[in-house]
Amino acid sequence: MKNSNNGRNVCLMNYLRGGRLRHPQGVYQKNLHAVAQEKVSLKHKAEAALAASAGGDGKRPVHARGFWPAGRPPRKLFKHTFLVLFIFLILGACSRRADWVQFRGEGGRGVSSSRITPPLGLRWKIKLQSSDEKIRSLNPPVVIGDTIYFGSDDGNFYALDVESGYMRWVFKSGAEINSIPYADKDKVYFGCKDGKLYALSRETGQEVWNFPTSSQINSQVERYGDYIIFCGDSDAIYFLSPDGEEQFRIDNPGWMNYTFLMSDDVMYFATTPNVNILGAYDINQRGFLWYISHDEIDAVWYSFSAIRRDLLYFGTADYGGFYLGFHAYNRHTGELVWRQGSEGILPGIFDDDNLDYETVINLFWRNIDLLDFLAPTIWKDLVIFTGGDCAVRAFDADSGVLRWERVFDTPVSSAPTIAAGRVYFGLLGNGDIPPQLVCISASDGRLLWQMETEGSILSAPVIAGKRVIFGTDESVFYVLEQVF
C-alpha cells in the first residue's frame, strides 16, 4: 500500500490511467507431452506393481510368509490393494482440483498445500491482448474447482477452464482491473478502476449487482463472515452485505493500492483519519486495538501482512526502493518484536560502479502497482521476502536473524509462493537475461529449477493442486503442471 500524502511521494496521477479495452485473442497452447502423461492408465500402474512383486519363476507371487496357496493371493490383500488404489485416486483427484480461494492463502502466509515438484511443463498459455505495451498489473487469480477467475489490465474479467484454457466467459468492465477477486458458492467479486465493485454469476458471468464508489478500486476483495470487504483509493474501506448493501465504512484519507489481512475478526491494517497512522481494527467492536505510526516504519509503502502464531510480518520500502524494511510485531499488543533493514541490492544498476537512478525509480513504480509487492511467505520457522531488488532473504521468524540470502543477476519481479518446501517467484530479466520463473529451496535458497517466460511475472504464482498459475507483463497467462 502506498501513502499518497507523504511528503516524499510524488503525484500518482501519471500512472492512474484510463481503461484500455482490448478483446482477448483466445489462443492457447498445450504441452502435448504433459497431456499424454495424464493419460497413463492407473490399471497399467497397478499391473506393473503386481508384476514387480512376483517371485520364483514369476508365475507365483511371493507372500511374506511363503507361497500363496493355489497361486492366489489372500482376499485380505485384494481388499488392501483396492483400498490403497482408492486412496491414491482420491488423493490424486484432490491434488489436481485443490482450490486457491484466498489472497496469499491461509493467514496470508503465501503457502500452498500442494506437493508439486519441478520440473514443470506447460499445460497451456493464452495471450490476453495484442499490444506492444507492457501491462502493469495481472494480479493473482482464484481457483475454484475447474475454473480460474481473474481480472486484467485490459479491462476484462475472465473465467477460464483450468485444464484446457477454454474461455467459459468474459466480462468487460468499464476500465482496467487491478483487483484480486473473491469467489463464493454462487458469485465472484472484483473491483475496477471505473470505481465499481462488481458481483458476477460464477456460472454465466452475468452481472448480479455493482456497488459504485467515488474512487478507483485497486484492492483485494474478500468475504469475511457476512461482509464483502474492499478499499477505494483515498476514499474508504467498505463493508458490504453479500447482496451489495453497505453496512459500514472506515475512512481512508490517503492510501492507495490497499490490501489487508483479516484474522480473528481483526483487520491488519485499517486506515485512520490521520493518514500517517494505521491500526489493528476489531470489526466487531468497530474500534482500533493498537496503532502503528507511519514515521515508525519510515516508508511510503508497506506490504500485505502474514501471521505466524502471535507475530505479524510485513515488508516496507521507502521512496524509490533504495531502502527495504522487514518487520515483526506482536499482533495482539502492537509491540515491535524485531526489525531488519537493508539497502536495495541492485548489481549493475545501483552499486559502486553504476548509479542508474532512473532505472531504480522506474522499478519502484512498477512494483507498487502490484498488490502483493514485498508480501512475505512463511515456511516452518522462516519468513521469506522477495521483491524490491535482486535478493531473496530468509529471516528467523522469532528473532529476525538473517538465515540465508540469495542474490540474482536481475531484480526479482514477484512475491513468492511456497509449496512442498520450494519457493516459486519471478525474475524480471534484462537485455542479457530473459524473464524467468524460478524455484529455490526454502531451507537454504539453493536454486532447484528455472524456466524462461514470455514476459516478466507480475504477481506471486498461485499453486493449486498440480498447477502453477501466473501472468506476465506481456499479457500472457500461464498454467504449468508437474511433468513426472
pLDDT at 204: 98
Q: Which pLDDT does position 355 carry in this prediction?
A: 80
CATH homologous superfamily of 2-30+98-482 equals YVTN repeat-like/Quinoprotein amine dehydrogenase (2.130.10.10)
Q: Say what the pTM is.
A: 0.82
Instruction: Give bridge partners of residue 232 from the DSSP assignment.
Output: none
Q: What is the dihedral of CA 428, 375, 474, 221, to 10 degrees?
A: 180
Per-residue pLDDT at 3: 63
pLDDT for position 438: 98
Q: Residue 241 has what pLDDT?
A: 98
How far apart are alpha carbons 284 and 17 in whole angstroms? 37
Q: Which pLDDT belongs to residue 26?
A: 32
β-strands 60-63, 66-67 pairing = antiparallel
pLDDT for 19? 29
Strand 277-282 with 301-302, pairing: unpaired
Q: According to the model, what pLDDT value does residue 80 have?
A: 54
- C-alpha span between 85 and 87 (Å, rounded): 5
The pLDDT score that the predictor gives to residue 162 is 96
| Predicted local distance difference test score (pLDDT) of residue 361 | 92
C-alpha cell at 214: 467515488
Domain boundaries, the chain: 2-30+98-482, 37-97
Predicted confidence at residue 79, as pLDDT, reads 52
44-60 burial: b if 16+ Cβ within 10 Å, else e:
eeeeeeeeeeeeeeeeb
Query: Residues 316, 327: contact at Cβ < 8 Å?
Result: yes
Cell 499479457 sits on residue: 475
Low-confidence ranges of the chain (pLDDT < 50): 5-73, 76-78, 84-85, 87-96
Predicted confidence at residue 22, as pLDDT, reads 28
Here the cell at position 68 is 500363496
Yes or no: say if 460 and 414 are a contact pair by the CB < 8 Å rule.
Answer: yes
CA gap 355, 372 in Å, rounded: 27
